[in-house]
Structure 1
Amino acid sequence: MTDLLWDEVKCFFDLDLMGSLPDVRVPNASVEDWQAVLDLVAEKGWKYQYSEGETVLPMPRAEAVLSRPADAECPDLRVWPTAEVLAVFRFHADDEVDFDVDLRELQGQDRLDVLCDFLREIGRRLGKPVLMDPEGDYGHPVLGFDVEADRVVLLADPQVR
């Protein structure tokens, strides 16, 4: 299922406009939401790698990761929904699920469909919007999963960018 058409949204995948690593987030999240994302990764059979610094470790429970001391190194979870597309989750806060995607990997309709599928899976599991902001422009999403529409939609006018 195609949520967005590449020709209509490719400006939002322009590295000069968006930065190479736009911020993807689920606001108003909880530890339970983080755990639901970890469970989803395992259930979908997506390839993943959890690490703290240079040390690769088994996938932990969300509560354990999010209760680490403030001065501890921020762990990350690398998830490959397909072999060519990587999402890197950062455990900065328990009230927002956040991750980066690399726009260099998301060029063309096929890769856009992978991103939309990934955002839709997370949004459906959590019953919450999943928003993509330009890198460093937090709070100004250009696209995202809309819970009521049950699909990824544009949240900004491509003509304005």
Structure 2
Amino acid sequence: MSSPRDFDFLHGEWKVVNRRLTDFLRPDSGWEEFEGANRCRPLFDGAANVDEIDMPRLGSKGLTLRLFDRETEQWSLHWSSSRSGKLFPPVRGRFEGDRGEFYGDDTHDGKEVRVRYVWSVFTGTGARWEQAFSVDDGETWVTNWTMDFTRPASATPGE
């Protein structure tokens, strides 16, 4: 069951290795890899948080606002990019153990897509985020972006 403390693992500073497809809808388009830095801070006693990821190679930053709905016991994750300054439609879902799955609807390159985020928590050592798109309402998925989070040597969790 999900709780307002599910994202406590993410608080603080992280080094992030990004891997993404050059075309988010074509699994054979090839992968690019680049580093980033992330900082997450808790709000509402853990029932919300905001983080910013700096991706110098892309010349942009991203921001995520996460909110826990106590009534539904689900999280909503809201993403924005410094490139557009727009808030993308949220994905919603929950954690079961050390894995969280979140789903929503969006468009990419003019096509309607179903979006899935998966968070995997590796106790004390890091975390992994994956994004996948589906153009057939979830029958098949193309994982198109992954982020592997590790703590920098100078950081402590929750900093």
The bucket for the TM-score relative to the shorter chain is 0.3 to 0.5
State the TM-score, normalized to the length of structure 1. 0.34
The structure where helix makes up a greater share of residues is 1
State the TM-score, normalized to the length of structure 2. 0.34
Structure ranking higher on relative contact order (CA contacts 8 Å, 6+ apart): 1
